[in-house]
């Protein structure tokens, strides 16, 4: 199963999950680059303000050939109940994706992930095959490996491997 992981992470939580999934699935990885929100409190506030307003930032993603992959995983933090703005920019560009797409999210535990998942499903051109969510405390506490492995098993079983 040739797998590509595409993710955005402002403070490293989603990146930790992306790396763990990549190791488990032997996947290629592309980070959605966006310097606009990196930094301290003012950048955090800017991210929240622009997330509510839906102001889409410039992003930087290395090209990838979707046809080379069976499955793409898209990872995002939740921002004001939405996918993080750089991921919204990425999906608004209508990237070419394979038929199999799954998503993973990290959040701070102060909103339900379903709103964000619904929005991702609306933005994506294909049905979402599987969804995985993590509280950031679970990630910083290092108790995510079982969930990552179960998710990877599920994806591999669906591909018949």
Ligand X SMILES: Cc1cc2nc3c(=O)[nH]c(=O)nc-3n(C[C@H](O)[C@H](O)[C@H](O)COP(=O)(O)O)c2cc1C
Which window, 65-73, 86-94, 107-115, 120-128, contacts ligand X (CB under 6 A)?
107-115
Per the CB < 8 A criterion, the answer to whether 54 and 106 are in contact is no
Size of site (CB under 6 A) for ligand X: 23
User: Does 12 help bind ligand X (rule: CB under 6 A)?
Assistant: yes
> Which part of the chain contacts ligand X (CB under 6 A), choosing from 55-63, 75-83, 123-131, 152-160?
75-83
Q: Which one of residues 27, 87, 107, 144 is an interface residue with ligand X (CB under 6 A)?
A: 107
Cα torsion at 91, 107, 58, 64 (round to 10°)?
-50
CB 80, CB 52: distance < 8 Å: yes
Supply the minimum distance, in Å, between the C-beta of residue 147 and ligand X: 14
| 33 part of the interface to ligand X, by CB under 6 A | no
Kindly state whether residue 138 participates in binding ligand X, applying the rule CB under 6 A.
Answer: no
Residue environment code for 81-114, b if the CB has 16+ CB neighbours within 10 A, otherwise e:
bbbbbbbbbbbeeebebbebbbbbbbbeeeeebe
Residue 79 makes contact with ligand X by CB under 6 A: yes
- Span of 20-28, 40-48, 60-68, 149-157 interacting with ligand X by CB under 6 A: 40-48
Which stretches of the chain are assigned E, i.e. beta strand?
A: 3-7, 28-31, 71-79, 82-83, 100-107, 128-135
Residue labelled with tokens 């910083």? 140
Q: How far from chain centre, in Å, is Cα 121?
A: 12
Nearer to ligand X, 100 or 107 (CB): 107
Select the span of 52-60, 76-84, 94-102, 122-130 touching ligand X (CB under 6 A): 76-84
What's the token pair of residue 159? 């591909």
Residues that bind ligand X in the complex, under the rule CB under 6 A: 9-15, 44, 47-48, 51, 77-81, 106-111, 136
């Amino acid at each position: 199963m040739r797998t590509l992981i595409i993710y955005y992470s402002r403070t490293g939580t989603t990146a930790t999950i992306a790396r763990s999934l990549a190791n488990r699935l032997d996947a290629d990885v592309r980070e959605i680059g966006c310097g606009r929100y990196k930094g301290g409190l003012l950048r955090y506030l800017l991210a929240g303000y622009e997330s509510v307003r839906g102001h889409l930032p410039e992003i930087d993603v290395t090209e990838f050939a979707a046809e080379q992959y069976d499955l793409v995983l898209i990872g995002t933090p939740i921002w004001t109940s939405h996918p993080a703005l750089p991921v919204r920019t990425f999906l608004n560009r209508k990237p070419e994706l394979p038929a199999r797409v799954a998503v993973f999210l990290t959040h701070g535990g102060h909103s339900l992930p379903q709103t964000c998942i619904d929005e991702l499903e609306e933005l994506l051109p294909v049905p979402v095959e599987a969804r995985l969510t993590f509280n950031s405390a679970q990630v910083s506490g290092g108790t995510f490996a079982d969930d990552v492995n179960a998710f990877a098993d599920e994806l591999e079983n669906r591909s018949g491997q």
